[in-house]
Amino acid sequence: MPNKFVFADEAGCFTFNRQQNVSKYFILCTVVMDDCAVATQLLDLRRRLAWEGFELGEYFHATTDKQAVRDEVYKVITNAPFTIQATVMEKSKAQPQVRDTKSRFYQYGYFYHFKFGATKQLDQNSEALVTTASLGTRKERVAFEDAVADVMRQTKRVKEWRADFMPCHADPCLQVADYCAWAIQRKWESGGKDVRSYDLIKDRITYEYDLWAKGTDHQY
């Protein structure tokens, strides 16, 4: 049985241009927990909100949830013990070979994310289950798993680990990762102006890194 739980999600689109409604950044986000008690708390919250007549989607999803729902979700998750890591990728700085395919882009980003962010929350006694919201294709899932495996081999930081993939609606802990990724995305996409949700979670963030901050070459 694992003693560490890592849940991964991302924010932003895989479109590389400056058109309207296209994200400037692609953000990889993980939350690391010792247990998954917050999942039960979120299920209880959903039942309460349904009873009280809140307008709900199929599951908690920050992008589409009403602000009143978001407020309630953040109240729950900010009382749960976990840490947050985020790798920020400014898409216009991605070299053509990095964004050639979605799987390549995932592998590149997640390698650095786990090497310098997520694994810092693990140790040699950790038996970690790494769960990510279902990626679109088998190739993308393999790319994610390979990136994590490379880091685990190089750092020798954990005792044992496994990867799991499931839809975001299947595990409320993935919805925690979604809410954290969304809050961080709002901060970056707004140039630091929209920090309403970010301020609620910022004390949990152990790693927030602009991967190409030093780059000056934009591809578009």
Taking only the tens place, the pLDDT of each residue in 121-132 is 999 999 999 999
Confidence (pLDDT) at 143:
82
Taking 90 as the threshold, does the pLDDT of residue 4 lie above it? yes
Q: pLDDT-derived band of residue 215, with 50, 70 and 90 as boundaries?
A: confident
Burial 149-166 (b: 16+ CB within 10 A, else e): eebbeeeebbeebebebe
State the Cα angle at 30 between 47 and 97, rounded to 5°. 130
Sign (positive or negative) of CA dihedral 39, 43, 44, 45:
positive
Q: pLDDT-derived band of residue 101, with 50, 70 and 90 as boundaries?
A: confident
**Count of CB atoms situated within 10 Å of the CB of 17:** 9
Domains in the chain (CATH in brackets) are 4-210 (3.30.420.10)
Question: What's the token pair of residue 77?
Answer: 């998750």
Confidence (pLDDT) at 160:
93
Beta strands in the chain (DSSP E): 4-11, 25-33, 83-90, 127-133, 160-166, 205-210
Per-residue pLDDT averaged across 147-157, rounded?
81
The helix or strand, by DSSP H or E, that contains position 42, with its residue range, turns out to be helix 37-51
Question: What's the token pair of residue 29?
Answer: 């986000």
Mean pLDDT of the chain: 94
CA distance 170 to 128: 19
